[in-house]
Amino acid sequence: MRITRVLSAALLTLGLAAAPAAADSSPSPSASGAGSAPTSAGTSFRTATEFEQGQQATAVGSTGDYLYWSFPADAGQRPTVEATVKLPDTHAAQTWQIDVYDGLRRRQACQYGAQTRTAAQGTPRVDLACTLRTVRAWSEPWADDPLPGTYYIRLSVVNLAPADLGQPIRASVRVGSKDIGGSAAVDGSLAKPLVPGIAAAAKSAENNGSSSKPAVLSSIEPEDGWASGWWSDRWVWTAIGGALAALAGVGGYALTRGMGRPSRVPPGA
């Protein structure tokens, strides 16, 4: 009876602890999408148009232009960038591509997705996608792992007939993230996210003796602030493992208790 109660308590503990872990690993939008989505794009890294995850940014441009946007990504997220280009009614074959760069302007590889696509002659639109690797809270200096901070999207045409140069196009981009959870957790974190201008602004404020919050070039950040993903289901499963080990020890003792003692012989036997 006692062992049954112990096992019941263990199962109840597992259920209560696993519930937040399951919720933590489910896909969810990274930003509320509040505010108006931008309707223009930049022409360089410095002029990239900012938008939040969950929003759909649009822009009107010409074939041959480089279009730039930027968005924030925090530790534990796996961003997916989707882009659509609406082409003119008449055009020759064109090849379009999206590239994603981190806050250090290092080009990030796509885990999967159609990063480059060719639109056949007369095709009205082309759809592109790029799913990045999971953003890590910390990495070795020599590695090119995705890190928390600003990410840049560059949309461009890489193969174009001279007759199509300068024709009008309409582009739209959208970013969504899946929260990966404890499987991507690492022991460490960056002192500051890779946001353009944050280090220079902080150093300038320190030299000037200012205690006010330093200004940064990028004003967009995750909904819950940077490093909001410090908690993960890794902690939950570690606690569950410790609890199970303790329960196994208690259960083993309860099962084997008294087996090593000599049996009592009734007096006068």
Question: Of 16 and 166, which is predicted with more confidence?
Answer: 166
Contact between 194 and 227 under an 8 Å Cβ cutoff? The reply is no
Q: What is the structure's pLDDT at 123?
A: 94
Q: Which of 95-99, 155-159, 198-202 has the lowest mean pLDDT?
A: 198-202
Place of tokens 């074959």: 93
Q: What is the structure's pLDDT at 108?
A: 95
pTM for this one?
Answer: 0.70
pLDDT band for 231, please (50, 70, 90 cuts). Answer: low
Place of tokens 């140069």: 165
Rounded distance, CA 76 to CA 78, Å? 7
pLDDT, tens digit (0-9, with 9 covering 90-100), for 105-115: 999 999 999 99
pLDDT band for 221, please (50, 70, 90 cuts). Answer: confident
Three-state SS at 199: helix
- What lies within 8 Å, CB to CB, of 92 at 6+ separation is 121, 160, 161, 163, 164
Rounded distance, CA 172 to CA 32, Å? 19
**Beta-bridge mates of residue 44:** none
Question: Of 260 and 256, which is predicted with more confidence?
Answer: 256
Question: Of 31 and 235, which is predicted with more confidence?
Answer: 235
Question: Of 50 and 21, which is predicted with more confidence?
Answer: 50
Rounded distance, CA 112 to CA 139, Å? 22
User: Which tokens in the block code for residue 208?
Assistant: 């000037």
Rounded distance, CA 38 to CA 57, Å? 5
pLDDT, tens digit (0-9, with 9 covering 90-100), for 1-33: 444 454 444 444 444 444 444 444 433 333 434
Rounded distance, CA 88 to CA 26, Å? 39
Q: What is the structure's pLDDT at 23?
A: 41
- What lies within 8 Å, CB to CB, of 201 at 6+ separation is 214, 215, 216, 217
* 121 residue type, one letter: Q
pLDDT, tens digit (0-9, with 9 covering 90-100), for 64-90: 999 999 999 998 899 999 999 999 999
Of the options 2.60.120.380, 3.30.160.270, 3.40.50.720, 3.60.10.10, the CATH number for the domain spanning 28-192+219-235 = 2.60.120.380
Rounded distance, CA 169 to CA 255, Å? 75
- Note the Cα 220 to chain centre separation in Å: 15
Rounded distance, CA 226 to CA 232, Å? 15
Q: What is the structure's pLDDT at 97?
A: 97
pLDDT band for 58, please (50, 70, 90 cuts). Answer: very high
**Beta-bridge mates of residue 149:** 73, 194
Percent of the chain at pLDDT exceeding 70: 66
User: Which tokens in the block code for residue 117?
Assistant: 């696509």
E strand spans, 142-222: 149-159, 168-179
